[in-house]
Each structure stands twice: as structure tokens, then as C-alpha cells.
Amino acid sequence: MGHGVLVTGATGTVGRHLVGRLLAHGVRVRALCRDPERAAALLPDGVEIARGDLTDSTALESALRGVDAAFVLLADDAGQAFARAAHHTAGLHQLVALSADAPQGPGFDNPLFVKHVQGEARLRATALPLTVLRPGPFASLALQWAPALAAGDVVGAVHPDLAVPVIDPRDIADVAAAVLLGPAPSGVRILPLSGPQALDVHARVRVLGEVLDRRLKVARIAEQQWVRLATERLPETYARQLMDVERYLIERQLPVVASVREITGSAPRSFRTWAQDHMAAFSAPDRAPSFEEAS
Ligand SMILES: NC(=O)c1ccc[n+]([C@@H]2O[C@H](COP(=O)([O-])OP(=O)(O)OC[C@H]3O[C@@H](n4cnc5c(N)ncnc54)[C@H](OP(=O)(O)O)[C@@H]3O)[C@@H](O)[C@H]2O)c1
């Protein structure tokens, strides 16, 4: 079998772009999917589909057979099943992991932090060449504003002044593709990734309004209200964990870093570019209440 890559999360925010990049370079792509029928409808022709869950090491072992690299998403088991499967798979030459900037130690028991810290450690322990991508918040998080913007002109935010260098998921896919298409690295490489500029919610909503040609506003809302609204689409525990991540990001002040340009040779896409390419997502009618209506 020739060069082949197992892409986990292939139907997801980063994975779907990575699949396209790899196919375009003639790489054999196998996608690990929990729902093969749904995945087949979403993924381009030419992708092999392997049924499996990221927490099932037996399914992973079989999905890894015959590929020489893998793009690894960390699931709730923090890479445990993947690491076990990788130990039992001959022929794997490198892993590229989608992780995040996460704190560790006392007081940082948020599962969203723990899965990244433990997941990275487990993948390191496989002793395979490993590239860890640590992007900041995705530009696509703005999609969570779509229901409010279908119902009105106001985005509700708990921390509207929190500035983060949001990254376009396509840039993360470009970095992953460049690493997977390049020579297999040795050892472990950690790559913090960022967009070109730190933008708070006011700035991102202003850009989105300009792109959509609408006068949009931001309202500061209480955490309790945000959690109540978020639970229309997320489990409450997860919504609370996300607020905890925002508090961490306020302290952390993620820097803008040069790694996207260094690895891909191109500047990272701006939030304006992301917004221009996703305008359609903000025009679909939606019956969800706006933050004002729900208050
Ligand atoms: N969102 C951010 O701002 C952000 C920031 C920094 C880092 N990250 C990292 O990026 C990752 C992906 O981010 P996202 O929030 O945009 O998610 P996403 O890519 O939409 O994640 C869902 C994808 O993962 C697959 N998946 C999830 N659980 C799985 C499981 N147990 N077994 C097999 N496949 C599974 C889904 O497959 P199905 O088609 O089967 O559902 C889907 O393809 C996060 O987990 C995090 O590690 C995210």
C-alpha cells in the first residue's frame, strides 16, 4: 500500500478541509467515521471510510492498518484508545494531533483542559514522531451567533472585551497538510497556531456587520443567561466548561504567532476573509430566540 493517512474528525471543522488538501496531493485518505452513511454524503469521492469511534481501540487498530500517518482529534477519553491502537500498529511513521493551549495543575480540572493535556501526553508516550497543533479559538465560533443574528441584530457575550487571535480552521488544515505531506519529523514538535490579529467580540461583530452590510450590536450578558441560551444547542455542563475556558483565556492573553506562515508559506486568513466566505450561514432563517428576547 502507498502513502496513506487516517483522518479522524474528517467530517469536522478542520478535518473536512484536510481531507480535500490531502486528496488534491494524491494521498490515499481514510476517514474514521462514527456514521459512515452520513460521512459518505459529506466527504468527497475517493475517501475510504472506516467505521469507528475514537474511544474504541479495536476499531482504531483496524482503521490504522495500512496507513503510515494519522491526524488525531482528541475525544473524551483523552487519546487513550488512540494511543493504545497506535502501540499495536506497525508502519505508522507520524502523528499530527489537533490539540489546544490548555493549562495543567491544581485548579485546572476542566475536562476541556484535561483532555488536551492528557491526550498530548498519551500520544507522546507512543514514541512516534508527533506534531502537536495548538490553535487558539476558531474563527468559526462566530457561527454560534447565527441564531441570534437570524432573529435580530444583537450578539450577546459574557466577555465581549476578551480579545483572541481567532484562527480560520482552513489555516489549521493547511498546516496539518503541510506537515503530513512533508518529510516525517523526528521527535515531538509543538506548534502554537493563531490568526493574524487578536480581536475581541466587539471587533469581530463589527467586521461581520460590515461584511453582511448590517448594523450589529454586542450586548454584555450574564453568564447564567448565556448558559441558559447555550443549552438550546449544548449540554449545560459543556456550556459551563466553555465559560471556564473564556476565563482562562482572559488571563492567558494568547499571543499572535508566526507559525501558520512559517509552515505553509502563506499568511493566516483574516477574520474578515472567514466572514466573507461564510456569509450564507448568517442569512438562513432560524427560530431560536435572540439574546434580548430570551432575557
Ligand atoms: N473549536 C475551537 O475553537 C477549538 C480551539 C482549539 C482547539 N480545538 C480542538 O479542535 C477540536 C475540534 O474542534 P471542533 O469543536 O470544531 O469540533 P469538530 O471538528 O466539529 O469535531 C467533531 C468531529 O470529530 C468527530 N468526532 C467527535 N467525537 C468523535 C468520536 N468519539 N469518535 C469519532 N469521531 C468523533 C466528529 O465526527 P462525527 O461525524 O462522527 O460526528 C466530527 O468529525 C476540538 O476537540 C479541540 O481539540 C478547538
Find residue 71's DSSP bridge partners.
Answer: 7, 96
pLDDT, the chain, mean:
94
Cα 116 to averaged position of ligand 1 atoms, centre (Å) = 12
Q: Please give the pLDDT value at position 290.
A: 39
Pocket residues for ligand 1 (CB within 6 Å)? Answer: 8-15, 32-35, 53-55, 73-75, 98-100, 135, 137-138, 141
Please compute, for residue 115, the number of CA atoms within 13 A of its CA located in the half-sphere on the CB side: 21
Per-residue model confidence as pLDDT tens digits over 25-66:
999 999 999 999 999 999 999 999 999 999 999 999 999 999
Atom of ligand 1 nearest to the CA of 166: 3
Measured in Å, residue 75 CA sits from the centre of ligand 1 at: 8
Instruction: Give 15 Cα–ligand 1 centroid separation in angstroms.
Output: 9
Atom of ligand 1 nearest to the CA of 76: 31
> Do 137 and 164 form a contact (C-beta atoms < 8 A)?
yes
The string of pLDDT tens digits covering residues 102-159 is: 999 888 999 999 999 999 999 999 999 999 999 999 999 999 999 999 999 999 999 9
- Which residues make beta-bridge pairs with 211? none
Ligand 1 atom 26: residue of nearest CA: 9
Does 222 score more than 60 pLDDT?
Answer: yes
What are the E-state strand segments in the chain? 4-8, 28-33, 48-51, 69-73, 94-98, 130-135, 154-157, 188-193, 217-220
Task: Of 145, 100, 134, 136, give the one whose Cα is nearest residue 278.
Answer: 145
How far is 275 from 272, CA to CA, in rounded Å?
Answer: 5
Q: Which residues are CB-neighbours of 162 under 8 A, at least 6 positions away?
A: 200, 201, 246, 249, 250
- 10 by DSSP, 3-state: which? coil
Q: Give the residue whose CA is nearest to atom 28 of ligand 1.
A: 75
Provide CATH code, domain 4-128: 3.40.50.720
> Which residues on adjacent β-strands are paired with residue 27?
none
CA distance 144 to 13: 14
Q: What is the pLDDT of residues 167-213, one digit of tens each?
A: 999 999 999 999 999 988 899 999 999 999 999 999 999 999 999 99
Chosen CATH of 139-163+196-253+269-294 out of 3.40.640.10, 3.30.450.40, 3.90.550.10, 3.40.50.720: 3.40.50.720
The fraction of the chain above a pLDDT of 70, given in percent, is 95
Q: How far is the CA of 9 from the centre of ligand 1 (A)?
A: 6
Q: What number does the ligand 1 atom closest to the CA of 14 have?
A: 19
Distance 16 CA to ligand 1 centre (A): 11
Q: Residue 256 in contact with residue 198, Cβ under 8 Å?
A: yes
The whole-angstrom distance between residue 288's C-alpha and the CA centroid of its chain comes to 24
Q: How far is CA 40 from CA 11, 36, 61, 64, in A?
A: 10, 6, 21, 19
Spatial separation of the C-alpha atoms in residues 274 and 142, rounded to whole Å: 10
242/38 Cα distance (integer angstroms): 28
14-26 tens-digit pLDDT: 999 999 999 999 9
- Kindly give the number of the ligand 1 atom that is closest to the alpha carbon of 77: 31
Nearest-CA neighbor of 142 among 199, 191, 214? 199
Chain region(s) in the chain for CATH 3.40.50.720:
4-128, 139-163+196-253+269-294
